[in-house]
Structure 1
């Protein structure tokens, strides 16, 4: 009996990913020469997922909007999503600002800015200069839709998908065969996702082994206070702010976290939320959120609703200022907060987005030397893990909030799924049992929005 229970536990994806993470830490620490060569394993897994992102996002958005009875509904969902994104990001920035001022992780380092060699961060500072707010809005419209798909550019793909979906919706019944074909294509892509997710433990193992081998556990001790500050703030934000929001939606945060535990561990191991976007699209729909809301809110939230990035920006900026003994008044910090609301969006889609956003923030405010980014180079990978996991949780909550607000969340289905996840039902098993790619409680009726 005990052997069968152990075997059942080991068959669950989140357990396998957790084992991969632990094994990666051990290999990276005790065999750094081997660990430093395992980066391709993590990169290959993320590459497999990125291969699927463009077609899945395209089909999800087009099918969802094209099947809406009222195009005004799409606009309403978009406005509500953006409103929630901005409120949540502002709260995250404010929480980070308060805690970093209380703990002051950079105090006592007494770094002289004149002695810093900024050549190691030149790539990020150059990228920040090229990706300002104007460039961000210009990048939403692709030069070529084929190029956007080839490069996996999420925002241009969403932009094109929305326009195509609106056009198809206006065609009425004539567009139904094409939309049905896209829907079948989407279910096929989700099937590919289920196959790819079986190699997630290997990706998490390779990513963690490389990180520990390159930067060492000693780096964690050197920056322990900053790490503690960021992780503590992220946990408090998730538990208190997102927990309160979930309670207002009538759902349990803890059960929701258990429901997406596979995705949390994969994100922790790879430090990438992109690695779980396709699976999150499946899970949010299975949870009872309507497909149009999921297709619009979740991919867009990856750009506009970066709660973890917001916390990371405040922590990192003030850590550098404190390390260099730079005093920032309340007004300076509020100005910094306002700039971060913009730069956190302006770096979307750029490699090393968090670091680029931080570079853009410091370059805009002119109070903290951009060269101070050097202080974070050795620990940025560990900071990215907390940032990515918080972003992942926050975007799932955002999808639930907008669906609930819109009257497009089946509460009976949501509670049933969350309760089932509490008893150990694995998401991959649920997906394999569903031949249509829809939720196990798909027959439940979602209450329409009432004005």
Structure 2
């Protein structure tokens, strides 16, 4: 009896401790909100450790994966399949949101105009070309190490991997260094995740204690609609994607190993913080390392189902506030285009969708009084939006494995992971 309990705790002990920390944190946040100010630093320490580790982990994961891709797993096939999967799922999420809003319209009163000048940062002389250049590149190497330039860092890591792959025998030592560094950073992640129950519990206490009351206020109806739709999409569509990728076994593997990534995403509201946990869970889902180390890091920046859905909701609410019709063909097509772009440019950091909201206001020429409303919506949907953004990367990697490597490659990886379970 004791041995069975020991085996159960060995397999599920970390998850039980994590759930215990989350439950206790939620209780503290709900009934003792004055204590959250003391608990939040604990969550900040945990999150800062993840953020500090994510830059080197991202570099070694992407560059080593690209550098060691062999002839049976061609980079071009993986990248082209990944692009198709990313674009398809983003558009599907946006279309689902439009359909739901059509059948369940949201009413909202007019929001009073207020000053938002402090939100519009940056030089007024900047063109969109200038902003694009700053987004995808930097002019000094040290700037790559900042999370503010994450897409530029991803591109640099990707190009480093390609260069290492093309260097042949002369680059063999460097490729070994990349593989070794990737393994070291994985072990560092394991150490950091030891304090996950404490860190995530503290963050849940903070979120429940500070954001919780607002969920029952002025924006309750659109928020409730988004949360219900997000939960439906999370369960039904992610299960469908996992089934397409690996059949019933794929569904079982995805949900069995998606608990910790989901909890991390909800509590931290950060795709970047969830990315290391996704990478750790990917092999147990049957995703080949060569695919996971390319698709998941790139997906952290480029693939966002939750942001796609929230973008449509924010555009819809903004149109209601100013009395404009949302369900017009030109408006809907433009909304899809904005959604795809926002899903790409919204960085993997908490509340990173603000740049998308500014883009939305600019493209539609909406008055500035709509900005506070869409920013409130964006902030309050951040937990479930991040859940969809972050955990959508692993199920996307499963689809890429299925379509890029074929069923045989996925079956072989599943057999390997069965041996290690």
TM-score of the alignment, normalized to the shorter chain, above 0.5: yes
Q: Does 1:208 align with 2:204?
A: yes
1:117 equivalent in alignment to 2:97: no
Give CA-to-partner distance per residue, 1:51-101, whole Å, 9 cap, x none.
111211211222222222349921232222112211111111111111122
- 1:117-155 CA deviation, whole Å, 9 max, x = no partner? 243xx4544369879576235532232233202547332
- Distance in 1, Cα, partners of 2:89 & 2:127: 23
Deviation per CA, 1:386-433: give whole Å up to 9, x if none.
10111122111111111221217432443775xx7xxxxxxxxxxxxx
Alignment-derived partner of residue 397 in structure 1: 395
Counterpart for residue 335 of structure 1: 334
| 2:307–2:389 contact (8 Å) kept in structure 1 | yes
State the partner residue of 2:414: 414
- Corresponding position: 1:100 with 2:101: yes
Give the superposition deviation at 1:163.
2.2
**Structure 1 residue 187: Cα displacement:** 1.1
Residue 186 of structure 1 deviates from its aligned partner by 1.5
Deviations 1:6-40 (A, max 9, x none): 99289633332322222222222322222134332
CA drift of 1:166 comes to 2.3
In the other structure, the counterpart of 2:195 is 199
Q: Deviations over 1:226-280 (max 9, x none)?
A: 2221122223323443333322223343541221211111211222222221121
2:151 is aligned to 155
The equivalent residue for 2:352 is 353
1:73 is the counterpart of 2:53: no
What is the CA–CA distance in structure 2 between the aligned matches of 1:17 and 1:222, rounded to whole Å? 33
Equivalents in 2 of 1:237, 1:158: separation in Å? 28
C-alpha displacement at 1:198, in angstroms? 1.5
- Preserved CA contact (<8 Å) 2:67 2:165: yes
Residues 377 and 164 (structure 1), Cα distance of their counterparts in 2 relative to 1, 3 Å cut: closer
> Among 263, 268, 275, which residue is 2:273 paired with?
275
Matched, 1:440 2:420: yes
Q: 1:382/1:290 Cα in 2 relative to 1: closer, same or farther (>3 Å)? A: same
Query: For 2:357 and 2:335, how far apart are their aligned partners in 1?
Result: 11
Aligned to 1:26: 27
1:54 aligns to 2:34 (yes or no): no
| SS of equivalent residue, structure 2 residue 165 | helix
Worse-matched range after superposition: 406-415 or 77-86: 406-415
Cα distance in 2, alignment partners of residues 166 and 9 from structure 1: 40
Measured in 2, the distance between the counterparts of 1:2 and 1:51 equals: 40
The equivalent of 2:242 in structure 1 is 246
Deviation, 1:3, is 12
Pick from 305, 312, 315 the counterpart of residue 314 of structure 1: 312
Segments of structure 2 that go 5 or more residues without pairing to the other structure are: none
Q: So what's the TM-score if we normalise by structure 2?
A: 0.87
Q: Distance in 2 between matches of 1:155 and 1:8?
A: 39
Root-mean-square deviation (CA, aligned residues, Å) is 3.1
Instruction: Mark the CA change 1:379 to 1:20 in structure 2 (over 3 Å): closer, same or farther.
Output: farther
Preserved CA contact (<8 Å) 1:38 1:209: yes
Distance 1:133 1:16, change over 3 A: farther
Q: In the aligned structure 1, how far is the partner of 2:130 from the partner of 2:99?
A: 30
- Check if 1:263 corresponds to 2:258: no
Per the normalisation by structure 1, the TM-score is: 0.81
Change in CA separation of 1:377 and 1:215 when aligned onto 2, cut-off 3 Å: farther
| CA contact 1:131–1:347 (8 Å) conserved in 2 | no
Q: Deviations over 1:358-396 (max 9, x none)?
A: 232122112x43432423555644411110111122111
Given that 1:268 and 1:386 are in contact with CA atoms closer than 8 Å, whether structure 2 keeps it comes out as yes
What CA distance in whole angstroms lies between the structure 2 residues aligned with 1:217 and 1:204?
Answer: 20
Unaligned runs of 5+ in 1: 421-438, 442-451
Q: Distance in 2 between the 1:144 and 1:398 partners?
A: 33
Aligned to 1:220: 216
1:132–1:343 contact (8 Å) kept in structure 2: no
Q: What CA deviation, in whole Å up to 9, does each residue of 1:315-365 have, x standing for no partner? A: 122123334443224222322222222233233367622233123212211
Q: Which residue of 2 is the match for residue 190 of structure 1?
A: 186
For the residues of structure 1 that align with 2:177 and 2:28, how far apart are their CA atoms? 46
Paired position in structure 2 for 1:428:
none
Contact 1:85-1:398 at 8 Å conserved across structures: yes
Distance across 1 between alignment mates of 2:12 and 2:327: 53
* CA–CA distance in structure 1, aligned partners of residues 123 and 219 of structure 2: 25
The answer to whether the 8 Å contact 2:215/2:380 transfers is: no
Give the match for residue 371 of structure 1.
Answer: 369
Give the distance between the partners of 2:412 and 2:224, measured in 1 at CA. Answer: 38
The alignment of Structure 1 onto Structure 2 pairs a total of residues equal to: 414
